[in-house]
Chains A and B, each alone.
Chain A
Amino acid sequence: MNDELLEKLKILSDAAKYDVSCVSSGVERKNNTVGGIGNAAASGICHTWSADGRCISLLKILLTNDCIYDCHYCSNRVTNNVKRATFTPEEVAELTIQFYRRNYIEGLFLSSAVVKNPDYTMENIYKTLELLRNKYNFWGYIHVKVIPGADPLLIQKTGMLADRMSVNIELPTKESLKILAPQKKIENIILPMSQINNEITRTIEDKKSFKSTPRFVPGGQSTQMIVGATADSDKTILNVSQNLYDRFNMKRVFFSAYIPVISSPNLPAVSTVPPLKREHRLYQADWLMRFYYFKSEELFTEIDRNLDLEFDPKIMYAFRNIDKFPIEINKASYEELLRVPGLGVTSAKRIIKERKNAELSYDSLRKMKTVLKRAQYFITVKGKYYGNTKLEPEAIKNELRFKEIQKQMSIFDYMQ
């Protein structure tokens, strides 16, 4: 029995691990029911970090990997020869509680391959949540995946018990979807997204009149896109992601560098290195659009439809608009400060606050823990420019490249 459980957990966590989202933030809830266990912290809590440096906060597993579909990029697909396993809802609930009591996790992230049919699968996901919430009185965080094509009523019932739901879009265009996930219909992905969004808005409205109305997925919805399995450009990907934020109020759009696990004529060769750098750049660009008031047009040009891999999108923007720099730290507006490469929200706010007391000097910037490695090339402080080179993109690039080499050499020295 125990060995069987170990084996199941092995298979079903292994199959789930490529889903990147593992956040537990956005919901604040106290433990209010008699005999209840658990609460949720709005800021999210990381419980450990795996050997790849990623934060682990949820028990992320599949209910089953026994899939009837045949998505080319996925190792659970019906035509692939892998070991299959299925948890019962009771097993998942018990495992979640036992992990939670020991403070291993913030909660559960439950997903599933499509077993038998979408409704049957969704029904089992619902049963698991029902057990956790109503039998175990569990108030920790739960994120569930919606199975595209499942009955809206089931989605609705499940959403009343979950903190977050996600429907994965997987690929940014219809064409890519057709090639790589032939049984997935774009409507079956878009419809539940819009249903979730409507339910969220509806329960928020109802709550205004009836305080006791339970909220539908209070942590909102998110989705995930695979990067690098198709030829779609970064611009396409970011435009789709922008669209998803606007239309469905997505909390997050996650990007996942495609890791080739399968050989197929439609996919990059198995020897391909996963585009991790590209994934990182997409997150940076997505961040700039959501929190730094950048527009997608500002991050690309007519010719460049992909983000630069060597330099981050913010500094690339500065290089293309070098005539707008340097800006004076003691005069610039908050919005202008945010456009300086290397300055983040915290630094910009701190600068605004502190310069009210006294004009800032270069030294006081340093003391405020402002990272000046990149910023120094794009600012003046009391009229003085502190970059050790001319204000020209190529010169600055060379300087930064040189610093990078120096850094690596000192790491090398250190290792010897």
Chain B
Amino acid sequence: MDYLYDGTFEGLLTCIYYHYKKENACNIFEKSSYQQSIINDFEIVETDANKAKVVLDAINNKISNEAYVDIYYCYLSDVENKENIILQFLVFAFKYGRNTMNFYSHEKVLPLNEASLKVFKEEHRFLGILRFSDIGGVLYAKFSPDSDLLVLIVDHFADRYKYEKFIIHDIRRNKAVVYSQNFWEVIENVNIENIEYSSKEKLIQSLWKQYFTGLAIKERTNIDLQFQFVPNRYRKNITEFNV
């Protein structure tokens, strides 16, 4: 049986619940991207917060909180077949319980670790390379991350810019997190285009750009290394690589 879910984390956990309580899942897919197979039947799973909670508690109690974090991070990744990676991991982990995380390189564990590490790295990277601009007093940042990072990074900026208003816009997924006065929420289907910068904003961007360009020490030039740290696909949203 293939289980199809609505793309939410709770939906995914509900599928895991059915895997144990109803019928084994061959695989789990997001509803909208499912290609019907000739071999397997499929069932659309209704997301159920209570059932999800049962699975979540089981992960925390029987495996570990560390495993829960890895699963959540894997879920946020853009790794192909991530649902299956999580399913395979959980089947293995519910057998080995608390010891699971010692099997770092096991074939049922490694893919999960790799996916979660990829998200973790990208999360940390964007704490640094996300760029805001001041648009009439609101700080606005746009980015196009591989993984779905909004909920992971927002708290960092909510503390840092506690008394500001800000928007972080994931242009790849058309959604944004909006923050004001200790409160944030994620909004779907967001489209923001053609932003006009004030002359002060332009001045500060060019000051930064000049500072950045001037910093490189000619004798040490190492463009390859720079590309390793700031891959090309990120550059179009980073002020100093444009303007």
Residue ranges of A at the interface with B (Cβ–Cβ < 8 Å)? 2, 5-6, 9-10, 13-14, 17-18, 30-31, 35-39, 41, 43, 45-57, 59-60, 95, 98-99, 101-104, 140, 259, 273-274, 276, 350, 353-354, 356-357, 364, 367-368
> With A9-B211, A13-B211, A35-B163 known to touch, is A102 a contact of B225 (CB < 8 Å)?
no
Chain B, Cβ-Cβ closest to A366: B105
**Contact between chains at B208 and A102 (CB < 8 Å):** yes
**Contact between chains at A37 and B219 (CB < 8 Å):** no
**Contact between chains at A102 and B221 (CB < 8 Å):** no
> With A13-B215, A364-B105 known to touch, is A276 a contact of B220 (CB < 8 Å)?
yes
Other-chain residue from B102, B162, B211 in contact with A356 (beta carbon distance below 8 A): B102
Residues of chain B with a CB closer than 8 A to A102's CB: 131-134, 139, 204, 208, 239
**Contact between chains at B215 and A95 (CB < 8 Å):** no
Residues of chain B with a CB closer than 8 A to A60's CB: 215
**Contact between chains at B217 and A259 (CB < 8 Å):** yes
Cα(A30)–Cα(B160), bound, Å: 8
Residue-wise, chain B 200-243 has the 8 Å CB interface mask toward A (1 for contact) of 00011011101111111101111111101110000000111000
Residues of chain B with a CB closer than 8 A to A45's CB: 124, 127-128
B58 within 8 A of A: no
List the 8 closest pairs (A to B, CB-CB), nearest first.
Answer: A53-B225, A52-B220, A51-B216, A367-B105, A53-B222, A49-B229, A50-B216, A47-B128
Residues of chain B with a CB closer than 8 A to A18's CB: 217
Query: Is chain A's binding surface mostly helix, strand, loop or mixed?
Result: loop
Query: Is chain B's binding surface mostly helix, strand, loop or mixed?
Result: helix
B141 within 8 A of A: yes
**Contact between chains at B210 and A6 (CB < 8 Å):** yes
Residues of chain B with a CB closer than 8 A to A353's CB: 102, 104
Most chain B Cβ neighbours within 10 Å, of A45, A46, A52: A52
**Contact between chains at B161 and A354 (CB < 8 Å):** no
Closest Cβ of chain A to B48, distance in Å, is 36
B186 within 8 A of A: no
22 A-B pairs within 8 Å (CB atoms) are namely A6-B206, A9-B211, A10-B210, A10-B214, A13-B211, A17-B215, A18-B217, A36-B163, A41-B156, A50-B216, A50-B226, A51-B222, A53-B222, A53-B226, A54-B220, A56-B215, A95-B207, A102-B132, A102-B134, A103-B130, A354-B103, A364-B105
Chain B, Cβ-Cβ closest to A261: B219
Chain A, Cβ-Cβ closest to B103: A357
> With A36-B162, A51-B226 known to touch, is A274 a contact of B208 (CB < 8 Å)?
no
Chain B, Cβ-Cβ closest to A61: B211
By the criterion of a CB under 8 Å from any partner CB, how many residues of chain B are at the interface?
A: 52
**Contact between chains at B163 and A56 (CB < 8 Å):** no
Cα(A309)–Cα(B228), bound, Å: 25
Cα(A225)–Cα(B177), bound, Å: 45
**Contact between chains at A104 and B104 (CB < 8 Å):** no
Cα(A259)–Cα(B220), bound, Å: 10
Residue ranges of B at the interface with A (Cβ–Cβ < 8 Å)? 99, 102-105, 110, 124, 127-134, 139, 141, 156-157, 159-164, 203-204, 206-208, 210-217, 219-226, 228-230, 238-240
**Contact between chains at B214 and A13 (CB < 8 Å):** yes
**Contact between chains at B127 and A50 (CB < 8 Å):** no
> With A9-B210, A9-B211, A35-B163 known to touch, is A357 a contact of B102 (CB < 8 Å)?
yes
Other-chain residue from A9, A17, A104, A364 in contact with B217 (beta carbon distance below 8 A): A17
Closest Cβ of chain A to B101, distance in Å, is 9
Chain B, Cβ-Cβ closest to A259: B219
**Contact between chains at A31 and B215 (CB < 8 Å):** no
Closest Cβ of chain A to B127, distance in Å, is 5
With A17-B215, A52-B225, A356-B102 given, name 19 new contacts (CB 8 A): A2-B203, A10-B214, A31-B159, A37-B160, A39-B159, A45-B127, A45-B128, A48-B129, A51-B223, A52-B216, A52-B217, A52-B226, A53-B225, A101-B139, A102-B239, A103-B128, A353-B102, A354-B103, A367-B105
Closest Cβ of chain A to B150, distance in Å, is 15
Chain A, Cβ-Cβ closest to B201: A102
Cα(A72)–Cα(B132), bound, Å: 42
**Contact between chains at A55 and B229 (CB < 8 Å):** yes
**Contact between chains at B240 and A48 (CB < 8 Å):** yes
Cα(A52)–Cα(B216), bound, Å: 5
**Contact between chains at B102 and A5 (CB < 8 Å):** no
Chain B, Cβ-Cβ closest to A105: B208
Residues of chain A with a CB closer than 8 A to B128's CB: 45-48, 57, 103
Residues of chain A with a CB closer than 8 A to B228's CB: 53
Cα(A169)–Cα(B15), bound, Å: 62
Closest Cβ of chain B to A24, distance in Å, is 10
**Contact between chains at B129 and A47 (CB < 8 Å):** yes
